[in-house]
Amino acid sequence: MVESKDDKLDALFHALAHRTRRGILMLLVTRPHHLSEFTSIFDISLTAISRHVQVLNEAGLVQRKFVGRNHICSLDVVALDVLFTWSKGLTRQGPSSSAESDKLDHARPKQVARLRTR
């Protein structure tokens, strides 16, 4: 299945929305970690850590390597390129005049209502 940029962004925002997953990413900046190392750091079960890492992996932020029974996790920041590209677009697309800003203000409720019905 081909993923759209919106699907990738949704996965990234979902992955980054939880503080434990953000904490895992911060630890992986320094070095790869065994999955079991996270249980003592975050004081949660191996099952919960595994699920958090799975969400990060599905978003493309973490690579999991299996060495025997050990799961070694490492950071993969390539997926963040989609997020950076999207956020750069936010800064370049601001209204250039107050008239354009007024148009946007009137259009927002319709856009939000349309998004809620999807």
Q: What is the pLDDT of residue 87?
A: 87
Q: What is the pLDDT of residue 3?
A: 67
> Alpha carbon of 79 to those of 56, 59, 74: distances in Å?
10, 7, 13
For residue 22, what is the domain's CATH number? Answer: 1.10.10.10
For residue 82, give the H/E element and its range: helix 80-92
Number of structural domains (the chain) is 1
Q: How far apart are CA 52 and CA 16, in angstroms?
A: 10
More confidently predicted of 102 and 10: 10
pLDDT in tens, 36-92: 999 999 999 999 999 999 999 999 999 999 999 889 999 998 888 888 888 888 886
Q: What is the pLDDT of residue 93?
A: 61
pLDDT at 31 over 70: yes
Whether the model pTM is above 0.85: no
pLDDT at 117 over 90: no
Q: How far apart are CA 72 and CA 69, in angstroms?
A: 10
Q: What is the pLDDT of residue 103?
A: 53
Domain of residue 16, residue span: 1-118
pLDDT at 105 over 90: no
More confidently predicted of 24 and 79: 24
